[in-house]
Structure 1
């Protein structure tokens, strides 16, 4: 869900403040996003795989991909929300890339700075310039991937990637974990074992976090009644939705909407 034209450039701190909910909880977007970390340490979960991140690290996350992140030690960086445009040529799979040379670091920083400047200045050709810089970020990613191949996924990692995708696009269907597991042709127990080993959370928790993210976004960015949101997200009753929402956020849906 997005609420303004893309691409959009924010500092990491601004992006963290604008998040509908916790950044360390599983979420997904319907557009690509690029993190460029210049300072600090942290970890990021993408497709149910946990990775460490540090200075001069770029993380590209395609649409409909589960991810979460935690940053420590006074982090700095930029976050670029990119358009869902196949002609831009963005990678189809997640990528974590280390900018190991000054040239690589200068190139990506320069592209993001230029994109930000063009986004903030209304002048002839602005939209074309913005899209041109977004496409050049895609070129930077392609070249970095050529130098740093991400490697083949093992059988368990392939199952986790599929789980990431089906939860991202199907979290509003009210499906149980058992139904998601059946779609992947595995048992719920096996799926839970995989996610627990990979990210330290059961599969049910990742599914629930994504549903709560969707609820937070609906409460913040629409005026739909709580009852309608609960029904849309597959809860059996508004009361059950309210209890689940309050358990995760510490507030009732109505109080959350008013507080933000």
Structure 2
């Protein structure tokens, strides 16, 4: 179990992981609860101010960075989907919760004082269980994680819910999953509408009603997000990124990126590196 989950207090963890102030991504789930301190953190290039009682959640592949004051503390948990497979629970169990959808603004939550106290106690128990395993350790870790997720979701209340019909909510969830699976080479709403057996207009209406944006913008935002993730890590040149995202040529990709961000890919990369240095 220890190889599938890490649970620790934030202060000692951050001291032995100093690279976390630079933008990076993980291949595991990550959550952090603040009990005090100040500073800021970014998730997929959106910046958030550190506040006592705040908790955030991240899914594999998201990019983030930290810039905390020395007195910032709390609890951090990293876990792989294999944690839930230990007890034959659906490995995609975290996806049942709205804060594990990979949307930055929905994954950073300010808890009430009572909920924050409850989450802090759960985090402390989880940390102790991971560091000092006893009998039925796997069962207890999974049970505490599930209790943690449910407690946060209940505390969020209407913030994570939609008043739309359940069928539309399911269609939107399916659309987002399809976008996540195919965004690199399917760029048109009609392609996703066909897979969902609905019309492009109906898909567009659901997205506008529930997200305030068109289906095309949902797809475009995902492509731009991945482009930014690839650019900030500097492992691929712009031409390689354009090819990975199935643009016909580098010039078209550059025009697309600049149209919606105001910067060329190279300028965005330079700006991101400069921000990390400062």
TM-score (norm 1): 0.61
**Higher RCO structure, 1 or 2 (CA under 8 Å, sep 6+):** 1
* Aligned position for 2:116: 105
Q: Does 1:244 align with 2:241?
A: no
For the pair shown, the structure with the greater C-alpha radius of gyration is: 2
Aligned counterparts, 1:194-233, within 5 A: 194-233=206-245
Q: Which runs of 5+ in 1 are unaligned?
A: 25-35, 40-55, 66-76
* Aligned position for 1:43: none
Other structure's SS at 1:251 match:
coil
The alpha-carbon distance between structure 1 residues 101 and 251, as it changes in their structure 2 partners (threshold 3 A), is closer
Of 131, 138, 142, the residue aligned with 2:146 is: 138
Aligned counterparts, 1:141-160, within 5 A: 141-142=149-150, 154-160=166-172
Query: Structure 2: how far apart are the matches of 1:232 and 1:78?
Result: 36
Other structure's SS at 2:96 match:
coil
Of 198, 201, 216, the residue aligned with 1:189 is: 201
Q: Size of the alignment, in residue pairs? A: 212
Query: Structure 2: how far apart are the matches of 1:7 and 1:189?
Result: 36
Q: Does 1:15 align with 2:41?
A: yes
Other structure's SS at 1:172 match:
coil
Query: Structure 1: how far apart are the matches of 2:246 and 2:124?
Result: 42
Query: Structure 2: how far apart are the matches of 1:124 and 1:249?
Result: 48
Q: Which runs of 5+ in 2 are unaligned?
A: 1-23, 63-73, 100-108, 273-278
Q: CA deviation at 1:101?
A: 8.0
Give the superposed CA RMSD.
Answer: 4.6
TM-score (norm 2): 0.57
Structure 2 contact 97–149 (Cα < 8 Å) conserved: no
The alpha-carbon distance between structure 1 residues 113 and 9, as it changes in their structure 2 partners (threshold 3 A), is farther
Query: Structure 2: how far apart are the matches of 1:82 and 1:208?
Result: 30
Structure 1 contact 211–233 (Cα < 8 Å) conserved: yes
Other structure's SS at 1:186 match:
coil
